[in-house]
Amino acid sequence: MPEPTFVILGGGPAGCAAAIALRQSGGGTVVVAESGAYRSDRIGESVPPDIRRLFSRLGLLDAFELEGHEPCYGSCSSWGDYVLGYNDFTVNPNGTGLHLDRRRFDAFLARRASKAGAHLVTGARFRSVRPHTGEPAFVVELETSAGVRQLKASFVVDATGSRARLARNLGARRLVHDRFFCATGYFHLRDKAELTQLTMLEAVPDGWWYAARLPDRRIAVAFACDGDDLRSATLHESTSWLRRLGQTAFLAPALSESFYIPGSLRVCPVPCFVLDRPAGPHWLAAGDAASSFDPLSGQGIHKALSNGLAAADTIRACLDGDGTATERYADGIRQSFDTFLAQRYAFYAQERRWPEATFWERRREPRR
Ligand SMILES: Cc1cc2nc3c(=O)[nH]c(=O)nc-3n(C[C@H](O)[C@H](O)[C@H](O)COP(=O)(O)OP(=O)(O)OC[C@H]3O[C@@H](n4cnc5c(N)ncnc54)[C@H](O)[C@@H]3O)c2cc1C
């Protein structure tokens, strides 16, 4: 019997966790095809204290702690009220949360996947997949700077993020529950100035603002709003975005000792969805490719690592002849999405100050 080849599409947290766990759990060749090269900024930075449990399972806790990300002691928010509410991690047995330098975090995971023996191919974009009868199960086509490359795969993991490139190519559909936009810019904290190490959250009539202090005295600031408001108020332009930020009651004063980094504003769509089929014969989707949460939950990176670990376990179980492992994996994805939706609805429902505002009105009832 030839050794299996596992092809993982996407080298973000989900793809790298799957690669490391597959290498640690048995034989076979692991290839991670990543379209980027970990050189540009990446968005999404707050992780909860129990991310450490996942790093422990990956055997990387000590190495991760040495990376020097910024501790986060909890959050303070103006949500449903004009006064700040506090939620802290001080009694959490896993320690503090963290605000990550996200580019460095993803690059760290990619290096660790290589060190574990996975073949990491950067600048390789997934193009198409052809199911194959027997072994290999798929032929995957990648676009690289040297031309099109074909890989034979016994199992394929879609970890391409919320675009779910492979799964949708194989006929899976995204069941979208909500869609909005985040306009994220970066600030730099002036020398000697101080800023809270709590995640800051402020609801406003047309959305919510978020700020997190990052390593190297940088601060990520994001505004979540609907696409029609984003366009009509030109919030993709830094002048309008900064003017709007200046009108916030808590974030603007907190940022007074820092300056906006010119050119850093980026807008990205935020879909909240789960795939109708997160897995099938010889393929699985993991992380945002399988289900994408509202960033407000602060669970996306945790979920990506956890799905990556579960994907590796599922693949090994399938190879051992467990015929129900794939369906159990898919059920787990659906259940965690349902839990997220229930929590999200309860959280948005706490904000009742602007009953006529479209942003809140659109999110008052769970959309199924
Ligand atoms: C504005 C915003 C703020 C967020 N804030 C937080 C937060 O504070 N905390 C949190 O936990 N989560 C946050 N998230 C969510 C979090 O970023 C994601 O859940 C997490 O990145 C998912 O990891 P992943 O590995 O599944 O996907 P990704 O991180 O998206 O990684 C996918 C990888 O696949 C690669 N790729 C894409 N297409 C292809 C292709 N065709 N071929 C090959 N490679 C490909 C990409 O380059 C990337 O490296 C936020 C998201 C947004 C949009």
CATH number of 5-68+100-175+271-344: 3.50.50.60
pLDDT at 134: 77
Angle, helices 13-25 vs 102-115, to 10°: value is 20
Atom of ligand 1 nearest to the CA of 299: 11
Mean pLDDT by 10 residues, the chain (368 residues): 91 98 96 96 93 97 96 95 90 90 97 98 97 87 96 97 97 97 97 93 98 96 97 97 98 97 97 98 97 96 98 97 97 98 94 95 75
pLDDT for res 254: 97
Structure tokens at 241: 């975005």
Q: Which of 148, 180, 301, 303 to mutate to test the pocket of ligand 1 (most atoms within 8 A of CB)?
A: 301
Q: For 180-269, CATH number?
A: 3.30.9.100
Cβ of 96 closer than 6 Å to ligand 1, yes or no, is no
State the Cα–Cα distance between residues 20 and 113, nearest whole angstrom. Answer: 5
Q: What are the angstrom distances between the C-alpha of 30 and each of 17, 33, 343?
A: 12, 10, 36
CA–CA distance, 317 with 330 (Å, rounded to integer): 14
What are the boundaries of each domain within the chain? 5-68+100-175+271-344, 180-269
pTM of the model: 0.97
Residue-level pLDDT at 276: 98
- Cα of 316 vs centre of ligand 1, distance in Å, is 25
Please give the Cα distance from 178 to 274 (Å, whole number): 11
Asked if 287 and 13 count as a contact pair (C-beta separation under 8 A), the reply is yes
Order of strands, edge to edge, in the sheet holding 46-47?
46-47, 97-99, 70-72
**Ligand 1: which of 8, 20, 31, 34 to mutate, most ligand atoms within 8 Å of CB?**
34
Q: How far is the CA of 314 from the centre of ligand 1 (A)?
A: 22
User: Which stretches of the chain are DSSP H helices?
Assistant: 13-25, 51-57, 61-65, 102-115, 165-169, 227-232, 238-246, 251-254, 300-319, 325-349, 358-361
Q: How far is the CA of 12 from the centre of ligand 1 (A)?
A: 6
pLDDT of residue 366: 62
Token pair belonging to 56: 């422990």
CA-based nearest residue to 294, from 202, 196, 182, 205: 182
